[in-house]
Amino acid sequence: MDTLKITMEDMRAVDFCAAGVEAFFNREGLDYALFLKEGISAEELLNTGSVFARKVVNVKIKTIENKEEQ
C-alpha cells in the first residue's frame, strides 16, 4: 500500500488555517516548511496522538474511499 500523504489542501478541507497548522507543527516538533513542500505521512501525523491529526487523516481516507466508489 502506498503511504498516505497529508497536504495543506487536506488541512484546509477540514477548515484548519495555516497559522493553526504551523503552530501545531511547531508544538509537535514537526518540520512545517517540509510539510508545505512534500506533505507529511498520515502515520507520522497520527504518531502525535492528536485529535487534530486523526480528524484530517480520517477525512482524507473517507475522501479516497468515496472517489473509489464512483
Distance between CA atoms of residues 28 and 44, nearest Å: 11
* CA-wise closest residue to 9 among 38, 31, 51: 38
Confidence of residue 2 (pLDDT cuts 50, 70, 90): low
Q: Which cell is 50 given?
A: 492528536
C-beta separation of 6 from 60 below 8 A: yes
Q: What is the pTM of this model?
A: 0.89
Residue ranges of domains in the chain: 5-69
- What CA–CA distance (Å, rounded) separates 70 from 43? 26
The predicted-structure confidence for 50-66, as pLDDT tens digits, reads as follows 999 999 999 999 999 99
56 residue type, one letter: V
